[in-house]
A and B are shown apart, each in its own frame.
Chain A
């Protein structure tokens, strides 16, 4: 299908790891992104990975990419209450007008004490 899919909801306890999964559609995507959106706010770029990489780690964030299965994941280590938000994955494709993003459906992460 055309949709970039994510599970809708994830609940974890503070201090645990969170893993948010994403299945994308376009095998020619050049970059894959993870964005964070807090209530009433815009999107904050968390991290991204080039399509020729398998893994990228940035402090508490680890991105894994499985190109064969078109599967992307974001692991947040030592999850904190401030990590509660909606997380969007996005695939990008360069068009004549620039890098066009297609967003996933979003995963609501809830961190409980």
Chain B
């Protein structure tokens, strides 16, 4: 299957700082990438849909000014958690969509 990478895999930051997470499709071009959030022992919650060259579409209840998404190329999307707070601590997973949807390994964010 196709390979999707995420960087970093784990990040710990202080409250009030911003954190950028990168999602890359390594062996295919993805016009659409998705960002999910997963709380412990729960399912994935779609945060936003990211299309190359256009603004992201956010799901209801997700603050677009808080979670900035940029899809600069067909192989890279970034999620920036701005002014992070402890309640933003979570597992963030991206996926890249070709014919099927392939997931990255996830980024564990801990905000102190």
Contacts and interface: CB of A to CB of B under 8 A. Distances in A.
Contacts of A31: 100
B93 interface: yes
Contact of B106 (A33, A41, A100, A104): A41
Contact of B46 (A40, A45, A101): A101
B34 interface: yes
A100 B43 contact: no
A71 to B, nearest CB: 18
B12 to A, nearest CB: 15
Interface residues of B, number: 24
A100 B93 contact: no
Identify whether the interface residues of B are mostly helix, strand, loop, or mixed: strand
Contacts of B101: 33, 45, 92, 99, 101
Interface in B88-112: 93, 95, 97, 100-106, 108
Interface string B21-64: 00000000001101000000011101001010000010000000
B35 to A, nearest CB: 12
Nearest to A41: B105
Given A42-B93, A103-B44, A97 B57 contact: yes
Interface of A: 31, 33, 35, 40-45, 48, 88, 92, 95, 97-106
Q: List the 8 closest A-B pairs by CB distance, nearest first.
A: A98-B32, A43-B103, A97-B49, A42-B105, A42-B103, A42-B106, A103-B43, A103-B44
10 contacts: A42-B103, A43-B44, A44-B103, A97-B32, A98-B31, A98-B32, A98-B51, A99-B101, A100-B34, A105-B43
